[in-house]
Structure 1
Amino acid sequence: MKLNLDPAVLEIVPTFKLGLNHYTKVTVAESPQMLKGRLQLFQELLFFDLDDKPVTDFLGIKEWREVWKLFGANPSRHRHSTEALMRRIAKQNYLSPFHSAVDLNNFFSLQYQIPVGIYDVDKIKGNVTLTVGTKESGYDGLNGRFNSLEKMLILSDDEGPFGSPYVDSARTAVTEETTNSLHAFFLRPSMNEAEALELTTAAGNMFTEISGGDVQSYVLQEDHPTIVIKE
């Protein structure tokens, strides 16, 4: 499977970086109590932080709102996934445990203040490209409705788009039957190459500590816009 960063993305944001973790032989199951407790505590602490300052003052949220605008999307009308999560927490509408992959995905998104998505590799068809959505781009999302993705970043395979910093598709969702997955970290463009790889690798190590299996970590960027994963 080849993973590509569309030159059109780099034309708009030359410092754009996409962190990728490819997991194999993982076990997705109910989260251990440690992870459940850590996610709950983190949300409670965030709630108090959000009581002192608005969501849009958090550095990661602010930077991603600017990225949204650069691609032509409206960050107030279509909030990126991390801002949406934090606004839920500000209302004490805390996330309930789902399973280990989703819980870790949400934890990373809140911890790093960036959109993060995880996908079942066996449901991805062919190669993957991160590009910008057109009027025709859209899918049935995990939010239970069809989502138009015009002027938003999208991960797309041979069948069409399946992921976005906005909301992910139901087609490639990770379940407790998933054993191979792809974890995408929509990194802050202001991060340098070393910081980007360090974050992606640390998240991958934590994921496999809980879910087992093996991980390979990569960062797609201007100097390395393509990688090939051997499945």
Structure 2
Amino acid sequence: MKIELNNELLKIVPGLKLGINHYTKITVSESPQMLKGRLQLFQEQLFFELEKKPLIDFPNIKAWREIWKAFGSDPNRYRPSAEALFRRIKKQNYLHPYHSAVDLNTFFSLQYEIPAGIYDLNKITGNVHLLRGGEEDGYDGLNGRFNSLANILLLKDDYSPFGSPFVDSVRTAVTEETTSALHVLFLNPSMPDDEALKLVTACGNMFTSISGGDSTSFILSAEQPSIELD
């Protein structure tokens, strides 16, 4: 499988980069109490921080709002997923545990203030491209409705779009049957590639410490706009 960052995107946001973790031989199950506790505590701490600190003062939240605008979308109408999570927590509408893969993805998104998505590799067809959505692009999302992805970054395989930093699709959702997964972290363009790789590798190590299996980490950027997964 090839994963490729469209060159046209780099002309608009030259520093655009994705963190990729390729997981194999994983076990997805109910989250251990340690992860449930950390996720709950982190949300409670973030709630108190949000009482004193505007969302725009979180640098990665701000960066993704600017990316949204650069690609022609309105972040006040279609919010990047990390910002949507922060706004939910600001209302004390805390996220409840789901399963280990989703809970870890949520934890990383909150911890690093970035959109993140995890996808069942066995439900992805052919190669994967990061593109800007057109008027015809959309899918049934995990938010329970059909989502238009015009002017929003999206991940698209040979069949259709399946993921984005806005909301992910039902089609490629990770379940407790998943054994191989693609984990995508939508990073701040200002982060140097070497720091980005350390962050993504740390996420992969934490993921496999809970879910078992193996993790291989990559950065997609102008320096390396495509990778091949074994």
The alignment's TM-score, normalised by the length of structure 1, stands at: 0.99
Letter in 2 for 1:140: D
- Deviation track 1:31-73 (CA, whole Å, cap 9, x = no partner) reads 0000000000000000000000222221111111001100111
SS of the aligned residue for 2:23 comes to: strand
The answer on 1:108 being equivalent to 2:108 is yes
SS class of match (2:217): strand
Query: Which is worse superposed, 50-59 or 31-40?
Result: 50-59
Shift, 1:183, TM fit:
0.2
Residue-by-residue CA offset, 1:64-108 (whole Å, 9 max, x unaligned)? 100110011100010000000000000000000000000000000
Query: Which amino acid in structure 2 is aligned with residue 14 of structure 1?
Result: P
Q: Which amino acid is 2:33 matched to?
A: Q
1:5-44 equivalent positions in 2, closer than 5 A: 5-44=5-44
Task: Write the distance in 1 (CA, Å) between the matches of 2:182 and 2:160.
Answer: 16
Q: Percent identity?
A: 66
* Deviations 1:2-24, CA, capped at 9 Å, x for gaps: 00000011111111111000000
1:57 and 1:15 mapped to 2: Cα distance? 21
Tell me what 1:48 maps to. Answer: 48
What is the alpha-carbon distance in structure 2 between the residues aligned to residue 59 and residue 223 of structure 1? Answer: 23
Per the TM alignment, residue 175 of structure 1 is displaced from its structure 2 partner at its CA by 0.2
For 2:16 and 2:62, the matched residues in 1 are separated by: 16
What is aligned with 1:92?
92
Deviation at 1:173, TM superposition (A): 0.1
Is the partner of 1:22 in helix, strand or coil? strand
The CA deviation string for residues 117-141 of structure 1, in whole angstroms up to 9 with x for no partner, is 0000000000000010000010000
CA distance in 2: counterparts of 1:54 and 1:29, whole angstroms: 35
Distance 2:105 2:165 in 1: 12
Match of 2:164 in 1: 164
Q: Distance in 1 between matches of 2:8 and 2:118?
A: 23
Q: Is the counterpart of residue 210 in structure 1 residue 210 in structure 2? A: yes
Match of residue 184 from structure 1: 184
Q: Equivalents in 1 of 2:119, 2:56: separation in Å?
A: 28
Cα distance between partner residues in 2 of 1:19 and 1:228: 14
2:213 maps to 1:228? no
**Does structure 1 residue 173 correspond to structure 2 residue 183?**
no
User: Within 2, Cα distance between the matches of 1:229 and 1:165?
Assistant: 21
Q: Which residue is equivalent to 1:194?
A: 194
Distance in 2, Cα, partners of 1:100 & 1:128: 24
- Cα distance in 2 for partners of 1:9, 1:139 equals 21
User: Superposed, which structure 2 residues align to 1:60-139 within 5 Å?
Assistant: 60-139=60-139
- Give SS of 1:19's match: strand
Q: Which stretches in structure 1 are left out of the alignment for 5+ residues?
A: none
Distance 1:226 1:53 in 2: 37
The alignment's TM-score, normalised by the length of structure 2, stands at 0.99
For the residues of structure 1 that align with 2:90 and 2:54, how far apart are their CA atoms? 9
Query: Given residue 31 of structure 1, which amino acid in structure 2 is its aligned partner?
Result: S
The DSSP-based 3-state class of the residue aligned with 1:76 is coil
